[in-house]
Chains A and B, each alone.
Chain A
Amino acid sequence: MENMNTSGFSRRSFVKKSAVAAAAIALIGFESPGFALGHDLMMQANSDLDIANFEYGLESAAISAYQAAAKTGLLDKPVLDIALKFVDQHTAHQKAWEAAVKNLKGTPQALVIGKYPDLKSQGDILNFAKTLEEVAVGSYFGAVNKLKDDTLTNIAASIMPIEAQHVAVFASALKMDPLPSSFVSGTSDADIAKIATALQIGPVPAAAAPAPVAPAPVSAPAAGVGGAKQGEDYTGGVVAGTLAAIAAAAAGAIALRSRKATADKE
């Protein structure tokens, strides 16, 4: 009955989690305009098209984050199985928003995480996944309020509890309280914007998105970055190269960390 522990909220894990989040947020200031866009997309998403595209982007970022986590080899099989099932759910959500964006005559814009936090253990990954799912819950909670179209509002409403379940699953796995609130609203808009900035969440142009990209080996040069010659097609080569560089950096940061001898114990 280990998952029945609703008062098992660990002060130590809360402090550690806050420190990780604070450290991540303290990295605000990275100058790349591409990475600032995640924050701006969040704060300026007012039209139904903007909101739908932001959700499409967020689901895309979640999928790539889970895939990166799966590749670390840090996850126990049962956790990995759950992560892959969550990917299936996020993929369905992503498709729904893709259709919504196209229906509104927009161009679906996938997002990726540009800078992962330090993830040395399964516990770290679970905490990070919980943070991302809370962001998802918060974005959908906000979307229900902001979307003007009823059909889109209902799509957001139909997805929110699925993400809320993801949060509860991770909370249980982390021996935290899976039922902290009678009214689930996820991460606030302001905090979503801060997290998007800290993680350098940015758009991937449609030409190179959103299919998962196997991270290039860290030693491989990122083709196209800084190397395109005048007159070449900058779009395809530079974008593909940038995407590979981002994925490689993320995978490298996660995979090359040595594991701690013990995960964060309660």
Chain B
Amino acid sequence: MPKLSAPMAADVDLMNAAIALEQQAQWTYGAAAKTGILKPEVVTVATKIIGQHADHEKAWTTEVTKLGGTAPKAKDKYDLPDLKTQEDILKYALSLEVLAANTYFDVLQKLTTKTLKTIAVSIMGDEAQHAVVLSSALGLQPFTSTQFMPIKQG
């Protein structure tokens, strides 16, 4: 295995952090769907969002592997706050999406190649759109109150 240059190693670390977040998101939505608390149409959206987070994870894993790095394995379980109602779940999911979008903004600035920044911005756009859907479902303003990244919603 060729030794990674410092920038490449740093990029791998950043991508692995993104992968970890994507994994947590997929698990969280899956756990939420399993509670039986969510209405069917909300489960449908959650399932779709899981699929998109899986796509993000796959894209980063591909890039990590190209650079000779190793992507982290998903955990069996992630922390969850006490979620009693659909609204609780949607609020928590929204907070995760906002965190993901804002983390991507940080990650993008630190990634060292245009290829990786381009992937990051396209994923960041998707997380921001997830936030729109969740905010709408909660009856909140669907878009951020900020003019630029980082976003503030919920």
Chain A interface residues toward B at CB < 8 A:
1, 3-7, 82, 85-86, 88-89, 92-93, 96, 137, 140-141, 144-145, 150, 153-162, 164-169, 172, 178-179, 181-186
Interface residues of B (CB under 8 A from A): 39, 41-42, 44-45, 48-49, 51-52, 55-56, 59, 101, 105, 108-109, 114, 117-133, 136-137, 142-144, 146-149, 151
Partner of A137, one of B39, B45, B125: B125
CB-based contact B148/A6 at 8 Å: no
User: Binding site of B, secondary structure by majority: helix, strand, loop or mixed?
Assistant: helix
Question: Closest approach, in angstroms, between the C-beta of B124 and any C-beta of chain A?
Answer: 5
Alpha-carbon distance A224/B136, docked complex (angstroms): 48
Residues of B within 8 A of A137 (CB): 125
In the complex, are the beta carbons of B131 and A141 less than 8 A apart? no
Partner of B147, one of A4, A88, A164, A185: A88
Contact A165 B55 (CB under 8 A): no
Select the residue from B124, B125, B137, B148 with max chain A CB neighbours within 10 A.
Answer: B125
B95 to chain A: closest CB distance in Å? Answer: 16
- Closest residue of chain B to A88 (Cβ to Cβ) is B147
Min CB distance A59 to B, Å, is 11
B149 A168 Cβ-Cβ under 8 A: no
Would you call A144 and B128 a contact (CB within 8 A)?
no
Residues of B near A145 (CB, < 8 A) are 114, 117-118
Known: A168-B132, A181-B126. 20 other contacts (CB 8 A): A1-B41, A1-B137, A6-B45, A141-B121, A144-B114, A156-B121, A157-B108, A157-B124, A158-B149, A160-B125, A161-B149, A162-B143, A164-B129, A165-B142, A166-B143, A179-B48, A179-B52, A182-B55, A182-B56, A182-B123
